[in-house]
A and B are shown apart, each in its own frame.
Chain A
Amino acid sequence: QAVLTQPASLSASPGASASLTCTLRSGIDVGTYRIYWYQQKPGSPPQYLLRYRSDSDKQQGSGVPSRFSGSKDASANAGILLISGLQSEDEADYYCMVWHSSAGVFGGGTKLTVL
């Protein structure tokens, strides 16, 4: 079982909110991890969006709009990237990452379609 699991795709309408999940493998407690989020558009390198561990330990990437925010769902053992006020330019692949056993681990990515 992969360390991080992301849904392969998600669709949402312009102006709506999208909640992207990053589920940690059973036995790995999301509460202790910083979760990093990245956005990648076709033909471009990934861009750092934010990291989130708790409301007192979080960081927004430089120039990243506040409508991108992080949170956790402890009951689901998952990190969440919330994008509010969706815009067509938000259509992209989104990846989460954690540090686990002295190595970086990425989720498989979620393709967000805005239509």
Chain B
Amino acid sequence: EVQLVESGGGLVQPGGSLRLSCAASGFTFSSYWMSWVRQAPGKGLEWVANIKEDGSEKNYVDSVKGRVTISRDNAKNSLYLQMNSLRAEDTAVYYCGRNTGMEYWGQGALVTVSS
């Protein structure tokens, strides 16, 4: 059974940093692109970033470029999202997903940026 479990969310002040993790199981992690998608409270879905199987290619939505870094550790079956210079508009539930098509989603991690 494919499982994706996000962790690392929480309350952070504007300008602060946070690192999200996504633990994957039930499939060969190193064979898939992985993605992050977020959803602000009461709003729609926004694609954030994705990373190639070997980490050699990464893509980001314009609103996070330069502040957010996606990475992965295939030995640990884990995906990460390092977020710096956080803003109020980054407040959202962050989901990790398998593949570019997000065939499987985690339960999400809530990130709240507020003073």
Contact = CB atoms under 8 A, between A and B. Distances in A.
A104 B37 contact: yes
Interface residues of B, number: 20
A48 B105 contact: yes
Interface of B: 35, 37, 44-47, 50, 59-61, 95, 100-108
Interface of A is mostly: strand
Contacts of B45: 38, 40, 46, 95, 97, 106, 109
Contacts of B61: 103-104
18 contacts: A36-B101, A38-B45, A38-B102, A46-B37, A48-B102, A48-B104, A95-B45, A97-B47, A99-B100, A103-B61, A104-B47, A104-B50, A104-B61, A106-B37, A107-B44, A108-B44, A109-B44, A109-B45
A105 B44 contact: no
Contacts of B102: 36, 38, 46, 48, 97
Given A36-B102, A45-B95, A106 B47 contact: yes
Nearest to B93: A45
Nearest to B44: A109
A54 to B, nearest CB: 16
B106 A45 contact: yes
Given A36-B102, A47-B105, A102 B59 contact: yes
Interface in A56-115: 59, 61-62, 93, 95, 97, 99, 102-109
Contacts of A62: 103
Interface string A18-57: 0000000000000000101010100001111001000000
